[in-house]
Structure 1
């Protein structure tokens, strides 16, 4: 019998994924399965911190989870299929999931904008060679609600765009829901101040 907390998580994530994907939820993705099934399987995998191979093996013996995923035991995708489908998930899917998950928290309209660097050194050399990628560090700009601490938006850049370019772009996408955005002086320039009255540099 699956732990109730894990089963609740998978059921909750299924609802979240279908809401985020909307009309695209049922469209087939890698392996012929509906897109929402791939997204939920990866959510299950990441929640449990298992490898692709471990995830496929566990799903074969976890009937309750398969029931939520609407999969028979013979339908469980191979770990290589899971690996490929994760690589192929489009950015719009991640952004939709982030937006819907942020909506689960109360939003105050007051947000903080910040940038940091994310080291991709954890990625295997085999993956980097296979994907023909040599980028070691990404610049990540985040927009966070100051009351709930929910991350409202994320933007990643391999070319390390200046804050005055990435900041306004992130804020524009969320402008309808914002009253004030706090950021350090690295984000401030005349363009952002003129176009975005909610922008307040510190």
Structure 2
């Protein structure tokens, strides 16, 4: 029988395993039962998001995937509750490190668009959201490299914050990664512009046209560079179509992690 080529799914698994090995130790502590590694947990959680499925369905599919199991040295399948507990234990900081590492898989050009989008939370049980805001959507702000469509950073909130209040934290976290920052009128704030310039970033943000002078300034914007911000909308659309337009988790902190795992999965898949 001819040797089968590596499928895109297998290459995804191998790349996710490579990033996991760079990001975390093999086990969470010296007291670990060492039945499964953190690397295996991370890869399986990414695969769950990539397949847009549940824990039980994922594990059922893995029964018929011997090459995938061999790629991550998985001799025995974990239970759904084991994967769920692993997701609870892996801090947001771990997923952010993995997201940052995934950006190294791409050539970048420093032109990074910023834009916000809503993600539906209404599929999660309302019983477990009693102490949370009544909003049925989370606001997600992405920094997207316009050359590779890779996601550099993400900010998630359920509060009613204006775009100009979110942008500063993203700019500060990515000093040195962003050279030009195209953004729409939602980021038209002098504090945002001043902070960007202080950190060596050229803000390419449209002004709200309250006067003829502001209209003239908008007309002088580099149309080609500013038009690159449409890549954010492309990325948002692709993620919602491939991985779902809503989050499944019940608690807000797990919903935030689920979103970051989705953006990590997008980067790995895009790198292939």
State the TM-score, normalizing by the size of structure 1. Answer: 0.82
1:156 is aligned to 156
1:43 is aligned to 46
2:127 is aligned to 129
Q: Which runs of 5+ in 1 are unaligned?
A: none
* SS of residue paired to 1:4: coil
Higher relative CO (Cα under 8 Å, sequence separation at least 6) belongs to 2
Which one of the candidate residues 56, 61, 69 is aligned to 2:59? Answer: 56
Q: How does 1:69-88 map to 2 (within 5 A)?
A: 69-73=72-76, 76-88=77-89
Number of equivalenced pairs:
194
1:177 is aligned to 177
* SS of residue paired to 1:122: coil
Supply the distance in 1 between the matched residues of 2:154 and 2:143 (Cα, whole angstroms). Answer: 7
Bigger Cα Rg: 2
Q: Which runs of 5+ in 2 are unaligned?
A: 207-272
* SS of residue paired to 2:47: helix
Counterpart contact for 1:115–1:139, Cα < 8 Å: yes
Q: How does 1:87-166 map to 2 (within 5 A)?
A: 87-123=88-124, 125=125, 129-130=127-128, 134-135=132-133, 136-166=136-166
Residues 32-66 of structure 1, C-alpha deviations (whole Å, 9 max, x = no match): 53222111011222333332112223334533322
Distance 1:40 1:180, change over 3 A: same
Supply the distance in 1 between the matched residues of 2:103 and 2:58 (Cα, whole angstroms). Answer: 26
Supply the distance in 1 between the matched residues of 2:157 and 2:71 (Cα, whole angstroms). Answer: 36
Say what the alpha-carbon RMSD is for the aligned residues.
2.6
